[in-house]
Structure formats: C-alpha cells, structure tokens
Amino acid sequence: MTGTTPSIPTGNRNDEIQIYDLHKSFGDLEVLKGITTTVHRGEVVCVIGPSGSGKSTLLRCVNLLEQPTQGRVFILNEEITDPDADIDRLRTTMGMVFQSFNLFPHLTALENCTIAQIRVLKKNPDEARAFAQANLDKVGLGDRGGSYPAQMSGGQQQRVAIARALSMDPEMMLFDEPTSALDPELVGDVLSVMRDLAQGGMTMMVVTHEMAFAREVADRVIFMDGGVIVEEGPPAEVIGKPTHERTRTFLKRVLDPTHVNAGDEDEAYAQRHAADSTPTA
Ligand SMILES: Nc1ncnc2c1ncn2[C@@H]1O[C@H](COP(=O)(O)OP(=O)(O)OP(=O)(O)O)[C@@H](O)[C@H]1O
Ligand SMILES: [Mg+2]
C-alpha cells in the first residue's frame, strides 16, 4: 500500500467485512497474493474471474474455512483471524451458500431451516419453525416445507439452502457460484431470490459467472486473476468499460458462449482462424 495505511479495524459500523493484505498458499502454490478490500453494510459485491484465480479461496478465508497464511480479516470490526477470536460466533453472522447445496438429505426443507436455530442459536422450536417458514415463503417455497431434498429440483434445493442460511438471521451472505450447478432453466428463480435479498438491503459477497446478474444487482464488481484484484468498481465500469486487458480477455470469453477456447489457447485459436479464412488455390 502507498500513502496512508488504513487503520484496521476502522470501527465504522458500516464496514462489515474488512480484508487486509490477505495471502493464502497451499504448499508452494500461492493462491491469494495480497487482497485488500472492504465490503460495506448493504453492499452487493460480485467477484468474477477465471477458474483458479482464487475466488472461492477468498470467500473461504473470509469465514475462516481456510486459514490465511498472512493478512487480517475483520467481520463487523472484530478480527476473525485473531487466534483468540470466537470463530463460531462470528460465523453465525455470515450465511454461506455453496454451489452444491449441502442440505441434510434426511431432513425436510422446513427441518433443514430449523435445526441449527434450535441447536446453535438455542431458539425454542416453535419460534424456530415460524422463522423457517417465513424464510421458505421468502424464497417462494412456502408450500414445500414437508419435502425432502431428493423430492426437489436443484433450483428448489438451492432456494432451501438460501432459506436455511437466512434462518440464522445473518448480517451478511456469502455466495460461491450458487447457480453454476443448475440446469439453465432453474437459474432464474435462484437469481431472483438473490435479487430480492439485495433489494432488501442484505450485505452480499457473490462469486458468480452470471454477468447479467452482476451488471444489474452488484454495487461493485471485483475482477480477480492470479490471486490479485486486477480491477474493481461499479459494474458499468468493470464489465461495461474494463480498463485492463486481462479483464477484457476474460469478459470476451464469458460473454461469447460460442467461444470455447481458454487462456493461452486463444492466440493459437485466432491464428488458426486467420489461416482458415485465407483463400487456398
Ligand atoms: N485445499 C486446497 N489444496 C490445494 N490447492 C487448492 C486447495 N483449494 C484450492 N486450491 C488451488 O487454489 C487455486 C485457486 O482455487 P479456487 O478454488 O480459489 O479458484 P476459483 O477462482 O474459485 O476457481 P473456480 O472458478 O474454478 O471455482 C487453484 O489452483 C486450486 O487448485
Ligand atoms: Mg471457485
């Protein structure tokens, strides 16, 4: 960092997630190479970038599912990377939704949304069930509380997973590619639940490949590549008018569905196609 170093933690109650010089290595592989950013109350931040750029690792370091090798993370101005931190308590402030829904298969949708309220938050069962039902209503599955995960579509299961996370009454929600395991026709329902959450003022950090969603819903887009933030800003800038070549190359790839080549292959691909169009005798 140049200039004045920001004071960490800021003490500003609107700073919900503060990430400061975060590094993470797996053995010799350095996956995060110094990430610094703050997510503010009510802000929707979409994280985009190529496969392997460290997006999931970043999200997993935020709630300490991965232990950073260096750097500090503050949740609501409390340091979760402090060795003495009450990690379980801090984690209850963050709802997490993964690509694979991870519902309990032997429990109904309603029970999936109830169990942790009773076991972790020690709520009384009636109160827990009422809140679970309200959250199922919110994701459009109010009438499916009695269904087991295997009786529901992937999109419905993912909406139950969102309702389950909301049932812990979190301050913020972290999503890791919540729609990428879904059949295309099921993606819209999940995104519309997420859009409603965002409009309701939920703080959200969303790793996604859904550029239309990021463009419409994000307050800020972070483009990561090779373990660093290459650029970040409003979607109209980062997606609409990216300033870095790496961002442009990535966007061209994800926005052109007929383009199946990736990375270094692109150059060779372009050359082959230039050759294709050369008239032969
Ligand atoms: N537990 C782990 N052990 C070893 N290497 C890991 C581990 N988790 C992630 N990695 C490596 O770290 C790099 C970044 O992985 P990460 O999952 O964060 O990428 P990503 O941006 O989420 O990619 P994708 O878009 O494919 O989900 C990859 O090279 C991956 O193989
Ligand atoms: Mg990932």
**Model confidence over 186-245: pLDDT tens digits?**
999 999 999 999 999 999 999 999 999 999 999 999 999 999 999 999 999 999 999 999
What is the gyration radius of the CA atoms in the chain, in angstroms? 21
Can the peptide bond before residue 9 be classed as cis, meaning omega within 30 degrees of 0? yes
List % helix, strand, coil for the chain (3-state, nearest 5).
35, 20, 40
Ligand 1 near 31 CB (within 6 A) = yes
What is the Å distance from ligand 2's center to 57 Cα?
7
Ligand 1: residue of 56, 208, 229 to mutate (most ligand atoms within 8 A of CB) is: 56
Cα 162–Cα 164–Cα 166 angle in degrees, nearest 5: 70
Model confidence at 110: pLDDT above 80 = yes
* 134 to 127, 145, 146, 160: CA distances (angstroms): 11, 11, 14, 12
Is the CB of 227 inside a 6 Å radius of any atom of ligand 1? no
Angle at CA of residue 58, ends 232 and 83, nearest 5°: 125
Q: What is the DSSP letter of 3?
A: S
Compute, in angstroms, the gap from residue 54 CA to the centroid of ligand 1. 6
In degrees and rounded to multiples of 5, residue 22 shows phi and psi of -80, 125
- In a 13 Å sphere around the CA of 112, the CA atoms on its Cβ side amount to 28
- Specify the residue with its C-alpha closest to ligand 1, atom 8: 57
What ligand is nearest to the CA atom of residue 47? 1
9-45 pLDDT, tens digit each? 888 989 999 999 999 999 999 999 999 999 999 999 9
Residue type, 133: Q
Q: Is the CB of 51 under 6 A from ligand 1?
A: yes
State the closest ligand 1 atom to the C-alpha of 53, by its place in the atom list counted from 1. 21
Q: How far apart are CA 180 and CA 157, in angstroms?
A: 13
Measuring from atom 16 of ligand 1, which residue has the nearest CA?
Answer: 54
CB of 24 shorter than 6 A to ligand 1: no
**How many A from CA of 96 to the centre of ligand 1?**
18
Report whether 92 contacts 167 (CB < 8 A). Answer: no
Q: What pLDDT does 194 receive?
A: 97
How does residue 267 score in pLDDT terms, banded at 50, 70 and 90? Answer: low
Please check whether residue 242 is in contact with residue 248, taking contact to mean a CB–CB distance below 8 angstroms. Answer: yes
Is 67's C-beta closer than 6 angstroms to any atom of ligand 1?
no
Check residue 8 and give its pLDDT.
Answer: 81
Query: Ligand 1: which of 51, 60, 174 to mutate, most ligand atoms within 8 Å of CB?
Result: 51
Model pLDDT, residue 279: 42
The rounded Å distance from CA 26 to ligand 1 centre is 9
**Torsion sign (Cα): 189, 191, 194, 196:** negative
Beta carbons within 8 Å of 216's beta carbon, 6+ residues apart: 195, 235
Return the exposure string of 13-48: e unless at least 16 CB atoms fall within 10 Å of the residue's CB, then b.
Answer: eebbbbbbbbbbeeeeebbbbebebbbbbebbbbbb
Q: Give the C-alpha separation, 78 to 245, whole Å.
A: 37
The bound ligand whose nearest atom lies closest to the alpha carbon of 28 is 1
Q: What is the mean pLDDT of residues 251-255?
A: 90
Q: Which ligand is nearest to the CA of 66?
A: 1
pLDDT higher than 90, residue 50 = yes
CB 35 within 8 A of CB 223: no
For residue 145, report the distance from its CA to the centre of ligand 2, in Å.
Answer: 30
CB-side neighbour CA atoms (13 Å) of 119: 7
The total number of residues written for the chain in this structure: 281
Tell which atom from ligand 1 comes closest to the C-alpha of 50.
25
**At 83, is the pLDDT very low, low, confident or very high (cuts 50, 70, 90)?**
very high
Strand-by-strand arrangement of the 78-79 sheet: 29-40, 15-26, 70-75, 78-79
Measure the CA–CA gap between 253 and 259, rounded to whole angstroms: 6
Give 225 Cα–ligand 1 centroid separation in angstroms. 12
pLDDT over 70 for what percent of the chain?
A: 89
Find out whether 49 and 225 touch, Cβ atoms under 8 Å. yes
